[in-house]
Structure 1
């Protein structure tokens, strides 16, 4: 009944808005007159509405651009001011503006988990592609210890972002069936413009952003900008969590009938990565509370004592790492965006080159908290008879300075992991378009990608520490000579592959756009793509790094044997899309679309398969297939804007990998199905007041796997929404704008088996901006002002839930940021 009522209410709203839109402008001429009157209104709000009505999107469009209102697909846009008002904590956090997407951005600047409108994924962001100027920064959206948003940093060189969900994206670029984030850089114009912005805030934030752009010479335009930042972060580990910056430049040449833009970006940014913290779970996981002595909103187990840690990689081979490096980014991006009209043909070519180190030097929580006494009892049970003739009867636990650790002290085990990852890619997409008959435009194109990843992993490396913020490490020794923990290290490196991967993709596509009449537009397309992957993965064995059986913390260390396994896989797949748009009036339309898409297996699938026989087995390692359908309504007027759509998804052959605390990889394959409704609404009841509501309702569940069939797709809330009122107050030639956001995220399950329950949560954010003329701007933003204790992730290194002490990753606590900008 609840579902039926919700769908009926939404349907009624769509029909009402549609009927109003048709009644408001039955004739094109009258609508034009109304639009002219609205545009003449001396209001910043009216200007913003006109900008929205005329907003042109380029993502998912076969050639040129198309008004957002006239597009036959779901797409969300955000300009520079909207991005600042949202106050995203990272690139992934921008996606909170997008209905149908849930981004777990509590890991920091990098390493987000992003879920898309019922697409089943367990971690990272396999169904989100990040593009710059219409080309993927790295053509594979996710790998182990990499997701696309980690390769991108926000700054004042960004003009806007377009986020396409489903739709024609299965045909173009890298064929992403989920969500595509396309960042558009600012370009120089005839009017020079520049800005400098200083920011401060929680965690001793110190940041400066600069930008300048303008005309260089006749036909030549350029921009340059970037940022530098240093902060200890919301969770103060005792060392900077984020430190670094980037610089971006563009050079544009206007051509006769087109233009070419060269762009380059250099980034060197270090970012601490946050995982779970100790919490108390009760009421079957429905109630989450603070663990005694640990503030879950600001605390982190990381500390200066463990910041610089060692990895015993083999006999006589010890490596040093720094937690301050976290999940950072050191990269170079270079691209060319070319558009030219040649005779009756429109030619477009987008090229992108990426070279980056995206290492992960971070802590990953393991087993749930327990008392020091319980840990010692477990150690005695395991190693009581490890030495012949000497039975252990007592265990001694001390801090590194020799001070005894009380038996009632709560402790946790956490791995200090080091993953070195070097990525490189080159992608190119070419399109040629022509109106081959009247009102019919055909587009033919090709997409080419070559990419690689060189990996060196050291997982495990478990350390014993106190369950308090900025934890202390603990040594444990038994009276029979066994050393259980040394300098806090109580477990070996349990998974240490060295691997090199290479991939190439080649796709050809054809699309057609048909303008049937002034009201109806239809488009469709097909794509054929081939992928080839090659992997060289080290074979592993276990051994003792010091040949001392009493030092049990390094027994069973995973080490390469010196031999390798070569793996290769070639796949081909087809995709298609068909959609149409019917204009109810000049600025209102309805649309429908269906598509089929796919994702190919990735590097990690080959490694996890282990043998060429498994890699070749299409039942064991299938090519995932996705079907989507959606219908929607779009309009924008001075009184309201509405973007509403219903979607249906079907998945087959989706593979999952879960990495446990002991290094074990669980592998499974299943499908899913789901339905949902996405909304973006804005109401402007009086001048200078805007009320915005964005969100989605969905019902998605697994299928095809008896272990998970009928279970809810993990990590995705059934209901989520954001309500944002904003009010502008003119003050002479100046203005003050106040805004706030109430966010609701519904209950979810952290795992496929629906055993780790994640309760719903809500947050409150507030902000204000004061503009002094056209030159000076003061802004302040506050997030999670109510200090809501909401969980975005359970313990992904365990397969079951539980009550009592747990590890989970909560929201950041109350934060604030203030900035002053000068434009020139």
Structure 2
């Protein structure tokens, strides 16, 4: 640890010691009966049988009531309230970026953090291109508990989860009863129905079914119903004399509009806002006038695509869980799930291609004209240009407002299905020892087609963007019906990753106060498949829409754009494509050891050191020099990235007061490829921090709960760009927090969830930043009767304009950048009826 980190660690350790001393002085409080947080058994990513208070890992959980208070508009907004979790929910109902405790968020998805449903991963890899794990699950009333383990034994109790695990644990119906509810967007267009019901079928058989259905535009104005679909989940549990067997079923068919970087105005360094006629926090560049796209698939076959599909998630999964004592003090646990996962991803992305960023129509037209050549290789007459609206109610009218280049991200998710099984045997001995031996198996497919991404020139308009026509001084067409180039790239992915992992945990309970455990896991990954890169070949025009005329969106435009990468895709075929074979096997060992000491019933100290690994999946194929032509790995990469983490913590819990604090120090390797910028990097990051979570019952119905995480992080090594060493990683704030004051009595619940962050840089060069902010979410429920309630939720009450990421790392006041902001203010009203 360098001097800077030693000083930080000393400061945090002193703060931690002060907190522990202050809490320990409350001797009267320590005698009170323990609350539910003390008694709850941890079931996620840790040795079984220990409570939250006893275990030597940092763990938190939210139930349905906790989650309601957050006024979440997506699953990611549930996650971002968990201690230590950084969840960027600016993408809408999916496509969130999620990480934990200073571990980098260099690109998209959740690379170092596994997202589980009922103890098994939704996807083996959380950062698959266009296949983020949160795309394929939804929070609804079928979920009884959201549990998060940060660091620690997550490294050895699950594959590819060195940072931690967030586990969505289903209701199982033991308590019986149900609920049905509807909610409406007050200032946005959405209707949603939620339902939940469970109970006993007979004395040893019970069930639970739950889910949702919804429809509407969503939280931002799109011009069409982009959020539409639903989910149903069912489980049945058979109680046995020596344990239980549980069967799971899930079907998700849901479409959500995803929001990609769009034009945003720089008001000053750290302060951002809308551009003219477009507010990226409440509007999108989607449009009722641009919903259908004629394009080609990755092999050059013509096809039509519906932009309203957005992220279309199709999941059908079946699984079972057995937990039985097969002999005295010998427990067998097996969890199995097979999932059929497919769908699509399509959304407009604001690109630049050098000189073509958001700008006035005249400037865009001049730039295009000066760079273009006609079919004979001759320059156009750029003495003047003419720009008109190509569609919509004012088609043909001149236009000189703001324009953007729409690179239509268009991917068909053919198969992200998986088959996963995790089994283990645990033997408990009379002398305090316990041994768990297990074997994990998963088969993860990654099959997707990156269709011939069209590029269009369109208006920047939050009220239905329109295509543009552009001609030169002689009336020669430069852009017809918005189409600038019909083929930016065409990739076909067909990969399979098999993971096997034997693991072993040894625990020891010494007396009534000491608990120790040590675990080890050996992951072996077999990777096979192929990436076919058939980008931008061919020069034959094609009548895509079948109207008998080759023009506009029905031609390949290769003869008229002259930009080198435009071109048609008619001649694309398997024989002429560039292929990268994938054929390798790699292994890595993870380990974790820690212990806890119960000072008394209310106070615990713990420490843990872990080394975990994350296999590099599809993104490895985008990094030059990592694979040989035969598919084997070069010496550039081991095929794994590793995270090492030291934790020291203190836990205090009584019936009125709960404080959990953890000091952590983390070193992370990251091998990454960023699609939008084309950057690739192999880096190491260091982070030291303090995580605090707590709650306090003030009495008379008032209570306060919350958490904060302070992190001091830096890039400690960069193989490709040493100039970045010592910089703060992009989007890494020093402080993130959630504070929830509330009041509750028999008739009502009132409160606020304050979620905020200190300032952070949006690029690794540490030039452009987002100022610190606080998002205020309000919640209120009136209990009309014991069974019926009415609720009001307001998310982002003060309508803060906050960007989570930017394609530009530097900018000046007045510039337009491409960024993703959080949602502006949204308000919903809901009605809930509960029954036995």
Aligned pair 1:686/2:699, yes or no? yes
1:380 aligns to what?
369
In structure 2, which of residues 343, 356, 360 is the aligned counterpart of residue 371 of structure 1?
360
Contact 1:595 1:628 in 2 (8 A): yes
1:578-593 map, 5 Å: 578-593=593-608
2:649 aligns to what?
632
Q: From the superposition, tell whether residues 799 and 749 of structure 1 become closer, same or farther in structure 2 (CA, over 3 Å).
A: closer
TM-score, normalised with respect to structure 1? 0.91
Shift of 1:389: 6.8
1:107-256 map, 5 Å: 107-122=91-106, 123-189=108-174, 192-201=176-185, 202-256=187-241
Shift of 1:137: 2.0
Shift of 1:607: 5.0
Shift of 1:332: 0.5
In structure 2, which of residues 766, 770, 776 is the aligned counterpart of residue 754 of structure 1?
766
Aligned pair 1:423/2:416, yes or no? yes
Q: From the superposition, tell whether residues 454 and 175 of structure 1 become closer, same or farther in structure 2 (CA, over 3 Å).
A: closer
Contact 2:757 2:772 in 1 (8 A): yes
In structure 2, which of residues 583, 608, 623 is the aligned counterpart of residue 568 of structure 1?
583
Q: From the superposition, tell whether residues 267 and 754 of structure 1 become closer, same or farther in structure 2 (CA, over 3 Å).
A: same
Aligned pair 1:645/2:654, yes or no? no
2:611 aligns to what?
596
1:360 aligns to what?
345
In structure 2, which of residues 736, 742, 747 is the aligned counterpart of residue 726 of structure 1?
742
In structure 2, which of residues 774, 782, 788 is the aligned counterpart of residue 776 of structure 1?
788
Provide the rounded CA distance (Å) in 1 between the counterparts of 2:373 and 2:491: 32
1:624 aligns to what SS in structure 2? strand
Shift of 1:502: 0.7
1:324 aligns to what SS in structure 2? helix
Which shows bigger deviation, 424-433 or 11-20? 11-20
Q: From the superposition, tell whether residues 491 and 80 of structure 1 become closer, same or farther in structure 2 (CA, over 3 Å).
A: same
Provide the rounded CA distance (Å) in 2 between the counterparts of 1:476 and 1:506: 56
1:151-550 map, 5 Å: 151-189=136-174, 192-201=176-185, 202-283=187-268, 285-313=269-297, 317-344=301-328, 345-367=330-352, 368-383=357-372, 387=376, 391-393=380-382, 394-401=384-391, 403=395, 408-421=400-413, 422-458=415-451, 460-469=453-462, 470-479=464-473, 483-541=477-535, 542-546=537-541, 549-550=558-559
Aligned pair 1:20/2:4, yes or no? no
- Give deviations 1:44-65, integer Å, cap 9, x for gaps: xxxxx732332222112323x3
Q: From the superposition, tell whether residues 755 and 407 of structure 1 become closer, same or farther in structure 2 (CA, over 3 Å).
A: farther
2:233 aligns to what SS in structure 1? strand
1:819 aligns to what?
830
Q: From the superposition, tell whether residues 197 and 280 of structure 1 become closer, same or farther in structure 2 (CA, over 3 Å).
A: same
Provide the rounded CA distance (Å) in 2 between the counterparts of 1:423 and 1:89: 25
TM-score, normalised with respect to structure 2? 0.90
1:167 aligns to what SS in structure 2? coil
Question: How many residues align structurally?
Answer: 791
Q: From the superposition, tell whether residues 390 and 704 of structure 1 become closer, same or farther in structure 2 (CA, over 3 Å).
A: closer
RMSD: 2.4
Q: From the superposition, tell whether residues 768 and 186 of structure 1 become closer, same or farther in structure 2 (CA, over 3 Å).
A: same
Shift of 1:233: 1.4
Shift of 1:773: 3.8
Shift of 1:406: 5.1
Shift of 1:683: 2.2
Which shows bigger deviation, 220-229 or 345-354? 220-229
Shift of 1:478: 2.5
Shift of 1:266: 0.5
Contact 2:485 2:557 in 1 (8 A): no
1:596 aligns to what SS in structure 2? strand
Runs (5+) with no aligned partner, structure 1: 26-30, 36-48
Which shows bigger deviation, 773-782 or 8-17? 8-17
2:553 aligns to what?
none
Contact 2:658 2:694 in 1 (8 A): yes
Aligned pair 1:99/2:83, yes or no? yes
1:106 aligns to what SS in structure 2? coil
Runs (5+) with no aligned partner, structure 2: 542-555
